[in-house]
Structure 1
């Protein structure tokens, strides 16, 4: 009796999310559509609220695991992986070879390679550092594992369409109070 009730509840929860449910069995549900089109965090939260667990496969969690590994490696104090070694370090974090991780990532994401994803995350972190720290552009490049400031600047320029220094100046100018604006005149008019 519990199994039939559980199956019914899971079906209702999935349909409540707007999914077309094709089949529900003990431990499995089949819905119409592609896995990458599903809102996995919302699906997980809905099932957990109904006291069910979403059993996930390696491939379903791969992109999230790569993101966590990249962010941990970028932000770890004292960690400064050479630019070319970064992908291999991410793969080691996930107990895979770089080739295995790259192939699995390509199958899941399709429109972006693992190397391109890692590069975009590293440059996004560079943008954070340019905004939030007083580190020089050279130190930021070194912190991100670049041995060449020119290489870092070139990659940054392709992403942000300006140099790292110009990016920092633009952001700081946007955040700075406007200087030279006159305060309203509160003088009384004479009678």
Structure 2
């Protein structure tokens, strides 16, 4: 009888990361039931040797298997925020605390305090940093106006987006758009 095991993986922040981890698992003969940002559900539990081998090969690629509960929760918070900001194109206004509670099944105060304690910043600041990275991406693609970007990312106004953008980057969105010299950070460095 087989049962599932879950590996929590740090630095898995984009669809390309999912493909890389999937490839590494396939290469090592590990059968996957499901894979998503930061989490791989396996068909079977791994032996200690197999887990060490996959951890070593993933580490060489910039990933890391997370074993302690607090680190797993932090990584899950980050992945929920990344998913929400970068991969959800719905225009519905979402309450971040409700999204985190429903995905992680913990009280928001616990999540917030844990995140601040471990990361040295608040969930809100991390969320804003991710949104600003998304704004940069959309500005570089140059397909949407600033008001369309503000609407898509649920800013109350273009002025509010511009103020927040300048506060985080030191530049106005229009100045950033002019220089376009790849001020974007990889998602795992935000």
TM-score tier by shorter-chain length is 0.5 to 0.7
Gaps of 5+ in 1: 1-45, 176-191
1:115 counterpart (120, 124, 128): 124
- The alignment's TM-score, normalised by the length of structure 1, stands at 0.56
Q: Which residue in the other structure is 1:94 paired with? A: 104
Per-residue CA shift, 1:126-158, capped at 9, x if unaligned? Answer: 111111241111111111111221111100011
TM-score by length of 2: 0.56
Higher strand share: 2
Aligned residues: 125
1:73 paired residue among 69, 84, 90: 84
Q: Cα distance 1:89–1:154, how it changes in 2: closer, same or farther (>3 A)? A: same
Helix, strand or coil for the counterpart of 1:130?
A: helix
**Counterpart residue number, 1:60:** 71
Match runs of 1:161-180 below 5 Å: 161-171=170-180, 174=181
Tell me the CA shift for residue 77 of structure 1. Answer: 4.2
Separation of aligned partners in 2, 1:143 and 1:152: 11
8 Å contact from structure 1 (residues 73, 79) kept in 2: no
Give yes or no for contact 2:66–2:72 (8 Å, CA) kept in 1.
Answer: no
- Give the 3 Å change call, closer, same or farther, for CA 50–71 of structure 1 in structure 2: closer
Which of 41, 50, 53 is matched with 1:49 structurally?
A: 53
Q: Give the conservation status (yes or no) of the 8 Å contact 2:165–2:172.
A: yes
Deviation for aligned residue 1:96: 2.5
- What root-mean-square deviation, in Å, do the aligned CA atoms of Structure 1 and Structure 2 show? 2.8
